[in-house]
């Protein structure tokens, strides 16, 4: 199967480069195709995956507090959500804002057309009065759009997605956000906080095997879209968490030496026995780390909003004056 569409060509280039490297690595956004989106929705319903319920608790209990940060001035604004996913948590805010007759437009941004279509369809039924402008884009494209948009904005980056960047990459990302923000804009980022290491690890290695299925679907996606011949049973899902650094990582480990043909690139990828593909990083934060990230990025913390167990924090920022 040839990768003829521009988006697929970009994805294929990332896959080819990542599997040719030493060590091998693939970015976590590759998890999210139509199948991966559905598996991740299953993950969010797992009892071990505390992140969703923690942020939902914040939105449910603190929605008025969040709203005040952007409605302290008159006039319409845009609620821009980077990596919107299925928007389940965000719908709590949207519902509250719509019923308060707040003048705003919701701009969900995601790389998955399937999940955006699902989100827009559901909101059309549950909140028919809501103005929605979906954008199927990578973050880099969305950030350029922010710079050109004159509207006031409340930018959401939820679900601890900031943790998918390493520390330096997270700083570069938030710095770029700050550059594209105006003084009246606000940025809300969700941070998964350091806590019991066993609690964190179980969110990435559940006994039902849902996270294993999610990780292995990355290889199945390559099979489906790019004529790959991965035997997923010959790869093992392996996560770990380091409580000193706060870094959780996930790997796919080859159980044997093998050659895997990928038709779209016309070559085989060699794997040594027990060679790993690094597929995900999830950085956990403490408040000192959040302050450091802000100051290095040109941002100032406006508010820190915790869930009831203090597992999670939604932090509101503005551009440093």
Per-residue pLDDT band at 312 (split at 50, 70, 90): very high
Q: What is the pLDDT of residues 149-188, one digit of tens each?
A: 888 999 999 988 999 888 899 999 999 999 999 999 999 9
Q: What is the average per-residue pLDDT within 102-120? A: 90
The backbone region for 160, taken as left when phi is positive above 0, alpha when psi lies in -120 to 50, beta otherwise, is left
Residues 36 and 34: their CA atoms lie apart, in Å, by 6
Predicted local distance difference test score (pLDDT) of residue 145: 81
**Cβ pair 165, 248 in contact under 8 A:** no
- Chain centroid offset of residue 256 CA: 31
Number of H helices, E strands in the chain: 10, 14
> 77: exposed, middle or buried (C-beta count within 10 Å: 0-12, 13-18, 19+)?
buried
3-state secondary structure of 274: coil
Peptide bond into 234 cis (omega under 30): no
Q: What is the pLDDT of residues 185-220, one digit of tens each?
A: 999 999 999 999 999 999 999 999 999 999 999 999
Per-residue pLDDT band at 143 (split at 50, 70, 90): confident
3-state secondary structure of 282: strand
Evaluate if residue 74 carries a pLDDT over 80.
Answer: no
Contacts of 263 (CB under 8 A, 6+ apart): 1, 226, 227, 228, 229
Predicted local distance difference test score (pLDDT) of residue 3: 38
Q: What is the pLDDT of residues 223-274, one digit of tens each?
A: 999 999 999 999 999 999 999 999 999 999 999 999 999 999 999 999 999 9
Domain extent listing, the chain:
6-31+198-283, 50-193+285-319
**Is domain 50-193+285-319 annotated with CATH 3.40.50.150?**
yes
Q: What is the pLDDT of residues 59-68, one digit of tens each?
A: 999 999 999 9
Residues 268 and 259: their CA atoms lie apart, in Å, by 6
Q: Find tokens 């009246």 and name the residue.
A: 184
């Amino acid at each position: 199967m040839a990768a003829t569409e521009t988006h697929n060509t970009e994805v294929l280039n990332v896959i080819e480069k990542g599997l040719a490297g030493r060590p091998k690595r693939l970015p976590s956004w590759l998890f999210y195709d139509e199948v991966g989106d559905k598996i991740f929705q299953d993950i969010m319903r797992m009892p071990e995956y505390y992140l969703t319920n923690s942020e939902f608790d914040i939105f449910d209990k603190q929605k008025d507090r969040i709203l005040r940060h952007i409605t302290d001035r008159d006039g319409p604004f845009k609620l821009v959500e980077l990596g919107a996913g299925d928007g389940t948590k965000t719908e709590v805010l949207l519902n509250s804002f719509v019923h308060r007759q707040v003048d705003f437009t919701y701009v969900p941004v995601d790389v998955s057309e399937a999940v955006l279509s699902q989100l827009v369809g559901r909101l059309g039924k549950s909140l028919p009065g809501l103005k929605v402008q979906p954008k199927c884009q990578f973050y880099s494209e969305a950030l350029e759009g922010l710079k050109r948009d004159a509207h006031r904005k409340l930018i959401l980056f939820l679900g601890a997605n900031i943790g998918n960047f390493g520390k330096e990459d997270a700083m570069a990302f938030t710095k770029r956000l700050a550059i594209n923000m105006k003084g009246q804009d606000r940025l809300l980022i969700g941070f998964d906080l350091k806590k019991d290491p066993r609690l964190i690890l179980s969110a990435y290695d559940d006994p039902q095997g849902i996270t294993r299925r999610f990780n292995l679907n990355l290889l199945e996606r390559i099979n489906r879209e790019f004529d790959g011949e991965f035997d997923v049973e010959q790869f093992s899902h392996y996560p770990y968490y380091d409580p000193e650094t706060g870094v959780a990582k996930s790997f796919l480990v080859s159980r044997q030496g093998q050659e895997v043909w990928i038709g779209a690139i016309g070559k085989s990828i060699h794997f040594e026995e027990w060679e790993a593909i690094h597929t995900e990083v999830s950085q956990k934060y403490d408040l000192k780390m959040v302050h450091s990230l802000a100051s290095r990025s040109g941002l100032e913390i406006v508010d820190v909003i915790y869930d009831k167990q203090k597992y999670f924090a939604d932090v509101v920022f503005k551009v440093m004056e």
